[in-house]
Chains A and B, each alone.
Chain A
Amino acid sequence: MDTSMAHNWLHFHSLSSFPLLTLLCAMPLGFALLALAIPDEQTNAHKAWSFLGALATFAASLVVLSRFDRSAVGLQQVDDYAWIPSFNARWTLGVDGLSLPLVLLTGILMPLIFAGAWSAIDKRWKEFSIAMLILETGMLGSLLAVDLLSFYVFWEIMLVPMYLIVGIWGGKDRIYATVKFFIYTMFGSLLMLVAILWLYQKSGGSFALAQLAELKLSEGEQTWLFAAFALAFLIKVPVFPFHTWLPDAHTEAPTPGSVVLAGVMLKLGTYGLLRFAIPLFPAAMGKFSPLLLALAVIGIVFGALMAYVQTDVKRLVAYSSVSHLGFVMLGIVIFNEESLQGAILQGVNHGISTGALFLLVGYVYERRHTREIAEFGGIAAKMPIYAAFFVFVTMSSIALPLTNGFVGEFLIFAGSFKEGVQAVIAPPAIAGHWRNTVLVGGGIASLGIVLGAVYMLSMVRRVFFGQITNPANQSLRDLTWREKSIMAVLAVFILWIGVYPSSWLNLSKTTVQAMVEAERPGILQVRAPLDYKHEASQHAHADR
């Protein structure tokens, strides 16, 4: 088996002389610890302090961006220190084109989330801001860590704050939802821990990703280890049929919790697949590709259909997440340059648009204390600015051209059809089952776009337009300046990515190319052996 293809993109490109990434990661935690000193009842001080903490972290992420070399292959600005000597576990943080967009997304969303929480969270601000800031440390750490043990620790650190956020500030069934969330996630990640330890044993005692990726594993081992890793990540994404915790958690979570869950945490699942599961076990990825493709497509259609029948707006948005993450998964499974660029960008897009939708739903919930679609109708007349923002974000969510959603989904479909179209145009010798599967799957998935328009637009129509039938809606106030400015920031990003996507795509371009070059042959070899030979011979031609 030809796996001599080095995992260049996982090696260190540049070490950092100053521990910038460690600082970035520790900054929210530092603010959280200092928040302990502020007395409980000083709610406003907590609001300001946590907002400041998130802003400072955002500033630090901009410094990381400014020092980021877009043309370099490999991990940049790496901090690499010994952590637990007897385990040979290292503190290794690095950034590349795969993690940077998500780091920036986290940086952008967190201040907005805190600003949005000023009215959404009405009790225990101290605990809330501390939990949120620790959560941010966990998310940034998971995105930056490339040593499997520190990654796992960060991955689990995210769990407790989220559990508390849903459980303390959530809705009526919050305890059921939060325990379900915790148990589901922990189940997935503990099996991943066993797999990590197995790799550690195999490698003779290392948690370093680049080193583990070079391990020679038997086919059976790859399959089981990939299954353990993938389970943890698929639960997090969540991919059908592991999604059942998500609607509960989303619906019961307070608005800031939903935003951070949809905005960043779900993306960590797809990120984990790309960063860890695929480079560690490319052959198993090839083997599981058809299954994962099917699950992604089922998720797209199932999520959309479920969203259509919801009566609660928030639950509708939650199911739309299942559908949208299906597109991201599709892009990952296809694994060519276009689809991966699309998947990474669509991760960011989903964070922005779904985050915005959850915030918007939260705004109206704060005013009316209900999210039932039937309770509303015609509120555009009372809340014109709110309606305008809502419709705008809806356009992004259903991927209208010139919004961010269009670019991401277009790239994913471009990648899928590039992969699948071989089934039609290529010489019959190489047109195998995989290409046919992709073609059919991509076709069904594109149905999901239509369904997305159906459920979103029908919800918008029922909530915003027509006559006001419910007298309770007569007295609705429109958005305040604070709410408007939060939405304005998100709207800018929606348009920015929609109109000028290359500024974001360029961040990840080099990394994605290196990733495809390194991992695609290994995947293709298993899932479409004939194509693999074909592509290899084309490469050989090109080289000559």
Chain B
Amino acid sequence: MLHDLALISPQLILLVAALFTLVADPFLPVDASRRFWGLFGAGMSGLAILACAALWKFGPYEMSTPAFSYHLAASGHALFFTALIAMCALVTHLSSPAYLTEQDSHYGEYYALLHFATFGMAVMVAAESLVTLFIGLEIMSMAIYVLVAFKRTSAASVEAGMKYFIMGSVASAFLLYGIAFLFGLSGGTSFIEIQRALLSPKPGQDLWLGLAVVLTGGAFLFKVAAVPMHMWTPDAYEGAPTPITGFMSSAVKAAAFGSFLKFLYAGISGPALASLHLPLGQVLGCFAVLTMTVGNILALTQRSIKRMLAYSAIAHAGYLLLGTVATIDDPTLGTPFLAPTGAVPFYLVGYALASLAGFAALASLGKDGEELTTEGQLAGLSKRHPIAALALTVSVLSLAGVPPTLGFFGKLQILRDVLAVDNGKYLPHVIILVLNSVVSAYYYLKVPVAMYMRPDSRVHREYVREPNLTWAMALPAFALLALGVMPGRAMGWASRSEQAIRAGSEAANTAHSYAVVKGGGSAKGVVATVAPEKPATAPVP
């Protein structure tokens, strides 16, 4: 039991932080609350990162180390994503107090909710069973719904929260329904049970498995904001308090993709899926291409930078989905998994840092309830708030994928991995991605153009200058450049995170001697070899 608790110490730290904030806030005077909670939250998030680092270093990260009888695990994958999410929370805690004070919405509950959301995500990525995953998802979602609507005097904020809540609930219902089918098929909810059940396909299960895949897949596509389940994104991103927008586009996206990867890898993969004749890779590839194209084209016409970045978040979901395709490839072809290079986790690091820097910079624009985030209002920012201008520039350059920022290497790795699938089966997708990048450069460039090249507008504008907020934009921007020059280390972490998922699912197979795993963690073909009684199905062209 104690061992189990140690394995989930990062999650526990976040939970304790949430509960403490909730209990202690009423006793703090308003001034102290303003000064204290941001730093406390950043500190606790930092502590969670340290706990992850300690487990990562001293724990058996290659293996899923399950706790609480296969409900949570401190796998390398969980630790990597928990640390990434806690890092997002840290920056958000730093950037929030000044913004909330200016927007006249400073309440201590905000920080408690932020901790709850972070905790929910940390549970989500560490989940070893679908029930835990769902609970994590709901804890996160509930907190985020409220956070989006936190500027309760602003109609846009409340509307955004409402929309997000209603649509998000539908997605949750889908997920739950899908989980129910999976439970019916396998008699269990943990990934390991589902995987074992799917290793030996039973007659007549195809319909139910198909339904389960479609329902759960749809829910995940909603959470990552893929087209056509993206409708909530622009409104929610624009209406939410700016630090929360940054948090959503970094941490929520990371958590969604983290658990999606785990789900695809460890949950619904296997020969059973092959018998469905569902070319999962190609289906996801279509969604990816659609998502990036629609996101980029709609972003072109936006005037508000916040809304533009919301559409760009959709486009990035498309890039990430294509990266996911490279990770799972097409199970029907018999070589289900490629080498786990960690393209998606690595991309998420760059994307999260860029979002955090960008939205922290945007959070500093405007005092006394104003938000000055349209293109015109950014004019001349480089003279009046040079740090914000620089951070925002680095952020959009990274989003556009210009070297030597981290965003470039993220895109590079995704391109490489997608091209590697089956000798360039996805070459058209890759070319569409590249053309999308060119389109996106056009609207990203509007930001530095406005800040550096347009003349100062005559209207006097005020900006929030507060040290913590400035750090919140400067640190991620610096990290984007520093990791961009030397990306090797972060790439290594990301690939270890993906290896951990594979090792976990392989271990699950070996334990029940379904699979003949040669050499412990061989790079591919593990699941392909597990069902010798069933001949390989015909490849889908």
Contact A168:B453 (CB < 8 A) given known A86-B488, A87-B416: yes
A168 to B416, CA, bound (A): 35
| Chain A interface residue number, banded | 20 to 34
Quote the shortest CB–CB distance from A130 to chain B (angstroms).
11
CA distance A159 to B431 in the complex (A): 21
A191 CA to B437 CA in the complex, in Å?
A: 11
Is B249's CB within 8 Å of the partner chain A?
no
Within the complex, which residue of B431, B435, B445, B492 is in contact with A86, where a contact is CB–CB below 8 Å? B492
Q: Which residues of B contact A84 (CB under 8 A)?
A: 409, 487-488, 491
Looking at the assembled complex, report how far the CB atom of A225 sits from the nearest CB atom of chain B, in whole angstroms: 12
Q: Decide yes or no whether B397 CB sits under 8 A from chain A.
A: yes
Using Cβ atoms and an 8 Å threshold, which residues of chain A touch B397?
A: 160
**Given A179-B449, A200-B416, A201-B416, A186-B488 contact (CB < 8 Å):** no
- Of A150-158, A261-269, A298-306, A495-503, the stretch lying at the interface with chain B is A150-158
Please give the distance in Å from B27's CB to the nearest CB on chain A: 45
Complex contact A179–B442 (CB within 8 A) = yes
* Interface status of B452 (Cβ within 8 A of chain A): yes
Residues on the A chain within 8 Å of B423, using CB? 201
In the assembled complex, the CB of A13 is this many whole angstroms from the nearest CB of chain B, namely 28
**A167 lies within 8 A of B412 (CB):** no
Q: Contacts of B402 on A, CB cut-off 8 Å?
A: 156, 159-160, 186
B453–A167 CB distance below 8 A: yes
Given contacts A156-B403, A157-B404, A174-B453, contact A194 B430 (CB under 8 A): yes
How distant is B437 from chain A, measured CB to nearest CB, in Å? Answer: 6
CA distance A197 to B403 in the complex (A): 16
Q: State whether B404 touches A153 (Cβ < 8 A).
A: yes
Q: Is the CB of B416 within 8 A of A86?
A: no
Q: State which residues 184-204 of A face B: CB under 8 Å.
A: 186-187, 190-191, 193-194, 197-198, 200-201
Q: How far is the CA of A187 from the CA of B495 in the complex (A)?
A: 30
A471 at the interface (CB under 8 A from B): no
Question: Which one of A167, A183, A193 contacts B434 once the chains associate, using CB atoms below 8 Å?
Answer: A193
Query: Which chain A residues border B413 with CB–CB below 8 Å?
Result: 87
In the complex, which of the residues B424, B441, B488 contacts A182, with contact meaning CB atoms closer than 8 Å? B441
Across-interface contacts of A163 in B (CB, < 8 A):
445
Question: Is A164 an interface residue, CB under 8 A from the partner?
Answer: yes
In the assembled complex, B408 has its CB within 8 A of some CB on chain A: yes
Is A85 interfacial (CB-CB < 8 Å)? Answer: yes
Contacts of B434 in A (CB 8 A): 190-191, 193-194
Q: Is B438 an interface residue (CB 8 A)?
A: yes
Across-interface contacts of B445 in A (CB, < 8 A): 163, 179, 182-183
Q: Give Cα distance in the complex from A167 to B447, angstroms.
A: 12
- Closest approach, in angstroms, between the C-beta of A504 and any C-beta of chain B? 32
Q: Complex formed: what's the CA distance from A174 to B413 in Å?
A: 34
Which residues of the other chain, A, contact B427 by a CB distance below 8 angstroms? 198
Known: A182-B441, A182-B445, A194-B430. A153 touches B403 (CB 8 A): yes
Complexed CA–CA distance, A190 and B402 (Å)? 10
**Interfacial residues of chain B within 409-463, with CB under 8 A of chain A in the complex:** 409, 412-413, 415-416, 419-420, 423-424, 427, 430-431, 434-435, 437-438, 441-442, 445, 448-449, 452-454
Q: Is the CB of A86 within 8 A of B453?
A: no
Shortest Cβ distance from A170 into B: residue: B453
CB contact between B491 and one of A86, A190, A201 (< 8 Å): that residue: A86
- Verify B416–A175 contact, CB threshold 8 A: no
Residue among B419, B438, B454, B492 with max Cβ neighbours from chain A (10 Å): B438
Of B403, B453, B454, B495, the residue contacting A152 (CB under 8 A) is B403
Chain A positions within 8 Å of B419 at CB level: 194, 197-198, 201
Q: Which residue of B lies closest to A224 (CB)?
A: B427
- Quote the shortest CB–CB distance from A278 to chain B (angstroms): 23
B341 at the interface (CB under 8 A from A): yes
List 10 contacting pairs A-B, 8 Å CB cutoff, sorted by A.
A84-B491, A87-B491, A149-B412, A152-B403, A167-B452, A168-B452, A183-B438, A186-B437, A194-B430, A197-B415
List 7 A-B pairs, minimum CB-CB distance, nearest first: A167-B453, A153-B403, A190-B434, A156-B403, A84-B488, A86-B491, A187-B438
- With A156-B402, A187-B438, A191-B431 given, name 12 new contacts (CB 8 A): A84-B491, A85-B492, A152-B403, A157-B404, A168-B453, A182-B445, A186-B402, A190-B434, A193-B434, A194-B430, A198-B427, A201-B424
Chain B residues with a Cβ under 8 A of chain A: 341, 397, 402-404, 408-409, 412-413, 415-416, 419-420, 423-424, 427, 430-431, 434-435, 437-438, 441-442, 445, 448-449, 452-454, 487-488, 491-492, 495
